[in-house]
Amino acid sequence: MSDTNGTDNDNQPRGFEAVKNHMLENKIETALWVSRCLSIIFAIGYLLPIFGSSQSAFYKVLISNAATSALRLHQRLPRIQFTKEFLALLLIEDSCHYLFFSLIFLYVQPFILILFPVVLFAVLHSASYSLKILDMLGQNSWWGARLMISLVEFQQRNILRLIAFSEIFLMPIAVVSVFMGRAGLMTPFIYYHFLTLRYTSRRNPHTRNMFHELKLATEVIANNPKAPPIVGKVLHGAIRLVTRLAPPTPVQQAQ
């Protein structure tokens, strides 16, 4: 028993030392993980304002997300160039989209749905790095954390679909927020451009797919014989409006 305990105690420092060395060697990945964890912590602080105001926690989530997006952009596009080609590359990056997202809602009154895509992305992207750290620690006592990470990875597709749905649903909320005095007049217009970037994303087709799913579901309701004619007319009009506003689908994703 004493030999076993001695072996465990010897392994534990080596595990933490391995984590320390890994973090020092991979500073950007570590900074990304920390900023994503901060987004999650601040979001919890928004829901449970124990150590500060919920409003302050809300904006801290957006700021930490902006930091995450900026770091990710630096990782993807390390050399800034003032050219049209670089701007085109910048605008197709998902990290650029969510940097815009944080800037858009940084001057909007707090609303919980705004944090949904940010926090869900933070959970999704921090899970794999957290698992890597746990593997380096090599401690089976962290089975609870491993179980939660496995659950997140198992539900990855559903989480991405939920993110896409919240991105879309935030558009009418942005419009309503203007009339309620909770957002600036330009917020819906700027957010519309964010949504078009998400729709044409090459790496993440979930927003585009969710638009298609919502269109099919709306058509089913509109064509239901039991639905009042006025409801069907309004829904068909909404479908035509959204279809007209939708940007062209990228050829790469269509094939």
| 202 and 253 Cβ atoms separated by less than 8 Å | yes
Q: So what's the pLDDT on residue 105?
A: 94
Q: Check pLDDT > 70 for residue 153.
A: yes
73-80 mean pLDDT: 82
pLDDT band at 253 (very low <50, low <70, confident <90, very high): very low
Q: So what's the pLDDT on residue 164?
A: 95
Q: Check pLDDT > 70 for residue 140.
A: no
Q: So what's the pLDDT on residue 143?
A: 73
Q: So what's the pLDDT on residue 151?
A: 87
Which range among 19-23, 66-70, 111-115 shows the weakest confidence by mean pLDDT?
19-23
Residue with the bigger pLDDT between 253 and 58: it is: 58
Most confident of 73-87, 142-156, 234-248: 234-248
* Residue pLDDT, tens place only, 111-127: 999 999 999 999 999 98
88, with CB counted inside 10 A (0-12, 13-18, 19+), is: exposed
Q: Using alpha carbons, select from 78, 109, 101 the residue that is nearest to residue 190.
A: 101
CA distances from 140 to 19, 84, 134, 135, 180 (A): 16, 51, 9, 9, 51
136-156 mean pLDDT: 79
For the chain, which residues make up each domain, given as ranges?
Answer: 1-154, 165-255
CA distance 253 to 251: 5
List the end-to-end C-alpha distance of the chain, in Å, as a whole number: 62
33, with CB counted inside 10 A (0-12, 13-18, 19+), is: buried
- Hey, what amino acid is at 212? H
Q: Using alpha carbons, select from 121, 114, 59, 96 the residue that is nearest to residue 193.
A: 96
CA distance 138 to 172: 47
Q: Check pLDDT > 70 for residue 38.
A: yes
* Residue pLDDT, tens place only, 185-213: 999 999 999 999 999 888 889 999 999 99
